[in-house]
Each structure stands twice: as C-alpha cells, then as structure tokens.
Chains A and B, each alone.
Chain A
C-alpha cells in the first residue's frame, strides 16, 4: 500500500523532529518535555496504525519496504537508505515508542529543575530516532547506523551530569567497550558483503532496480569454509561469530558487560530506557533478524548459548551482592539479557523476543520505580540507608513489587510466561547444561529481588537524614501503566494462544512451543520459594544492616560475597590487563616519545643544519693563504678535468 510506505517514515521522523526542535529552538523546560513526549507518543500511535495496516495484509506479504534514496552506490556495493515494517520490526517499534513515551512523560517529573533538561530531552528523542532506525532498517548498514547512533546517545546521556567524574568515565567506558563489539560487527558486515554481495536483508526494489537480499539465501554459504587447511572455519560460523561479538558488546554479555553497571551513573529514566528496555536489546534483535544465517552455524549457536547462560549466572550472583539500588537492576538486566541470548542460541527466537518484550515492560517499571524511590528519598541510592518505605510511598511500593514478581517469574505475571518458554525450549532441545544454569539463575533472580524489596520497603528507615515522600502524578502514572503491562503482558504469547509466535512466523519461521506443566510448576515453585526466602532473610536481618557496613550474608560466605559484588573481578581484570597498560603507553608516548622522540627529530633536523653551518663556517679562517690553497686545489681540478676531457 502506497500510503503505508510513506506512513512508516513518520515513525522515526517524528522523534527526529523532536530532537531538532529541542536542540535548536526550544530553550525552557516545559516545552522541551512536552514536545519530546508528544513526538514519541505520536510515533507510537503511528506505529499502532501501521501495525494494524500490516495485519490487514495476508501473512506472506507482511513486509512494507520504503527506500528514500540510494545511500551508497559504488560499483557492486549498493546500499539503499531504506526502512521496512514487518512483524518483527512492528513489535520492536511498539516497545520502543510505547515504553519510550512513558519514560519521556516520567522524565518530565524526574528531571524537573535540572540545569540541562532541554539537552536531555533532545538526546532522548535522538535516541528514540536511532533505535527506530536500528529496528526498521532494511539492510545491515542502516541497522549499524542506528546501532552506532544509540551508542552515541547512550554516551551522551550517561554523561548527562558530566560534572561528576564518575559519570564521564562511565560514559567513555560504555562507548569504548561498545566499540570493541562494533569493530567485530563491521568485520561481520564485510564478511556478509563478501559472501553474499549485498547487505540488504530482503530483496529491495529501488529506483527501478531490484537489489537482492541475503537472509533468504543462506543456503549459498552452506559448506563453504575459510581459513587454514588445518583449521577450516565455516563461512556461516565466521559471519555469525563476528556478529555475535558485536551483540555481546551492545547487549552487555560476557565478556563485554562491564560497562552496564557503571552506566547507572546516568539519570534513572535513561537507565530505564536505554539500559533496560531498548538499546541493550538491540543485540538480541539483530540476532533474531539474522536467524537464517545463525541457524546455519551450529558452532556459533553453541557459543551463543554458553555465553548467554554463563552471563546470566554470573550477573545473577553479582546482583545478589550489590548495595546500590540501580546496580542490582543493572546486573539483573545483564542476567535477563543472558536468558534472551541463550534462547537465541537454542533457536528459540520467538521466546527470546517474547522475553525481550516482557522484560522491557517490567524492567522499565523497576527502574522507574527505583527512580521514584531515589527521588523520594532525596537522591539516596544506597539500600543500606533505606528501609520501611512502603508506608511513605505506597504506589511506588506496589509497582516495584509487581515488577519484582514479574521478573522473578511468578505466575500469572508476564515474566513467568516468557521465562518459562525459554526453560521449556531448553528442556525439549536437550540442552541440559544451559537448562541447569538458567534454572539456577532464575532462582537467584527471585532471591535477589526478594532481598531488594525487603531492604528498601520493609523494616525501619535506617538513615534518618531524609523525609520520604511519594512522587508526583507525572511519575506515578507511567508506573501504574507499566505495572498493568507487567501483569497482563504475558497474554501476547500464552502457550495455548501463541499469538506472538503466529505473528512472527513469517519472519522467524518457528512453530509455537509446547507447554510443559512440570517445568512450569517447578520454576514457579522455585521462584516463589526463593523470593520469599530472600525477603524473609533480609527482613529478619534488617536491624543488622548498618549504613556503610557489610551485608549480613558476609558473615556466612566471607570473601565470596565480595567476589560476587565485584562480578568476579572481571572488571578489575580488564583494568589491570588492558586499561593500565594503555594508560602507561599513552603516558610514555606523551611524556617521553613525543617530547624526546618526535620533537627531538624535528629539532634535530634544525640542529643538524646549525651544526653543518658551524662546521662550514670554519672554512672561513680569515687567512689569505688558506684561501689561496683552496684556489689552487680548484685550479688543479679544472686543469685535470680539461686534460682528461680532451684526451
């Protein structure tokens, strides 16, 4: 439909307009927040309309492509600047604009009075634009454009309060670690182009020329290998492994997850939007989009599963030992992303997307509720200083509790259905190690959420220096909306209705999964049990929690607890092995090589000429007889030359 072609451009264009308005025209706080939020909400409405339009098409035709212009046209390297809307894109776009819109509205309240609030809203809108480009791009390069764009916005927004050194360093760290993944992503794109001749996902009609896609031609690279003869690597493995590394950077998996906990130095709505619901899910989306070639390489899928599972476990243990309210949620995000990545590795892409959607809802909810807590406790983030807040902040308490329960996977909340689907897939696919690890992680998830709820909302307020109060309506209404979503969100893919599986079938081609009652019951029982256990332990131990003191569990577990708190010292290892040597090298170059080497070379050239001049100057001795000597030498030479030449 022609009108749909143009309509889908509005989806990224509206937030872009919001960015431009906020960046160049708007100067004061009120219009900034209103314009930004309005643009995103409008984009959400357009997305809804477009999705309904899409649903009106027969299932095989549900792909709307629109190319604006031929971005790159160099011989055989043709890349159009185009976007598309297909079922997968639609659900991602709905998540981005829907949750994004709620977070924008929330930000109006949270960032009230901030000195750079207009800049904040501008970047937030820019982020939405870039994320939409990422999910709507119809070729790898536009996706990568959005990929880099969200990385940039993440950097800008984490460092929003750049007066704080922590924020600046965290922003740089996020960007640099992402960059490592991006480098691999670029190599993966090069490999795709090398073997397929194109970066388009699907065939594109642009400018009267048909440009092929690569996702439906994955059969072409089956059996091809590359590399030395004693260790051949399948082409599909090469491509997908590189893309996987890109995903580990963006989606904070092992070994590149170290930036996410530090990214909590940014404003809480930023953490909610970027580091819970949207940007970090870009890696999962990218893998789902490229499922055709990922499925072609069993080797890579094995890696994907292990990376996802191990990340989930490690991050889960780290989340258990954190004191900062946001860091618990940050590690929790890493852990849940591990679930999604592991699901991709098992071939359960629908389950991964399902979990992505539900996680987006309840993690955003948790972050916003945490923001409400921070706001209401005069910017306290250390849970040791909180306690007993449920009486002062009831709405926040109930939202947080619902979010925590959803995350823990308590039936019938959204998280239960999506997490259970992943575990069931592990069971039916006979991935026993991953099943064990993921099950253990879900127990840990419930445990640390129970701990967190107890530490924040139960017991007595441990730090009397603030007066706790509930946040304003502009902040609590989004919380309520998200809480409702967290409760009923599971409906989109109930095992016997499987609406999402059907919806995504044209793209991912997966059959609906089965429902294993035993697994479900076991998981739920485990979650409920561990959740209650976590709550009970810390509710009892609350009087022993001192401000600035160690966790009560430290007495039992000792230094293991510290190891967990530091995420098994992975970050410290990076610092020792990578960052310090680089700093030393940079210091050496700056203090030694540059002044002595480079300057020495340049100055040396100058000094050389001075030295030559001084040497040559000594020829002018002032003695006439020396000059006569030189004359004679010259005369001899000339005469000799004449003699020789006239032989």
Chain B
C-alpha cells in the first residue's frame, strides 16, 4: 500500500499549482478552474486521511465539498457571464473600480 504521506505531498503540490494559477492568470475562467483544482487537492488529502484513520467521515466531508463546489461553480459562472455582458471582457484586472 502506498503510504499516506505520498498522497499528502501530491495534494500539496496540486494545491500550490492551484494557488499559482489564481495569482498569475488573468482570465477569469482559468482563475475559476484553478480554484477548483485547489478544492480537489483538499479532497484528495481528506480521502487519504480517511483511509489512514479507518473512518469514512473524511469521505462524507468530501461528498459535501463536491456538492457545494458544484453550487459555487454555478453561481460563479453566472456572475462571470453577467459581468462579461457589461464589460465585454473576462480579464479580472478590468474589474477594479472598488479601490481606495
């Protein structure tokens, strides 16, 4: 059996890649996808720990995360579409009027 820490390391790497994606990319949709990547990395860690601890609680949490992620993606993309209709661009840097 593969030791748990391997999965955790993989999860960390995927999470970091997700963070980089959020910080670097300007396209709102790609930014969103990076967020999903981060969520998945977290799910992976949860499931790995669930197996280690021999309890399915971790998997139940993953179930919830997936569900809420789906709802969040729906609403987020609806927002994105609404913004795109007014701004005609999906560049996140354009939406910067809320500044000091």
Contacts and interface: CB of A to CB of B under 8 A. Distances in A.
- In the complex they form, whether A and B have CB atoms below 8 Å apart is answered with yes
Interface residues of A, number: 12
A555 interface: no
Interface stretch (B59-67, B72-80, B92-100): B92-100
Nearest to A624: B92
A618 B97 CA distance: 13
Interface stretch (A173-181, A465-473, A625-633): A625-633
Contact of B100 (A620, A624, A628, A632): A620
Contact of A621 (B19, B92, B95, B96): B96
A621 B96 CA distance: 7
Contacts of B93: 623, 625
B1 interface: no
A625 B99 contact: no
Interface of A: 617-625, 628-629, 632
Contact of B95 (A624, A629, A632): A624
Instruction: Name, among A617, A619, A620, A625, the residue most crowded by chain B CB atoms within 10 Å (CB to CB).
Output: A625
Contact of B23 (A617, A619, A628): A628
A618 B22 CA distance: 22
A-B pairs, top 4 by smallest CB distance, nearest first, are: A622-B99, A620-B100, A622-B96, A617-B100
Contact of B22 (A621, A622, A623, A628): A628
Contacts of B26: 625
Contacts of A619: 100
A622 B97 contact: yes
Interface of B: 19, 22-23, 26, 92-93, 95-100
Contacts of B95: 624
Contact of A625 (B92, B98, B100): B92
A625 B97 contact: no
A618 B99 CA distance: 8
Instruction: Name, among B19, B92, B99, the residue most crowded by chain A CB atoms within 10 Å (CB to CB).
Output: B99
A618 B96 contact: no
Nearest to B99: A622
B99 to A, nearest CB: 3
A619 B26 CA distance: 19
Nearest to B98: A622
A625 B95 CA distance: 11
Contacts of A625: 22-23, 26, 92-93
Nearest to A616: B100
B100 to A, nearest CB: 3
Instruction: Name, among B93, B95, B100, the residue most crowded by chain A CB atoms within 10 Å (CB to CB).
Output: B100
Given A625-B92, A625-B93, 19 more contacts: A617-B100, A618-B100, A619-B100, A620-B99, A620-B100, A621-B100, A622-B96, A622-B97, A622-B98, A622-B99, A622-B100, A623-B92, A623-B96, A624-B92, A624-B96, A625-B23, A625-B26, A628-B23, A632-B23
Contacts of B19: 632
Contacts of A624: 92, 95-96
A88 to B, nearest CB: 84
A400 B97 CA distance: 97
Nearest to A618: B100
A610 to B, nearest CB: 14
A621 B92 CA distance: 13
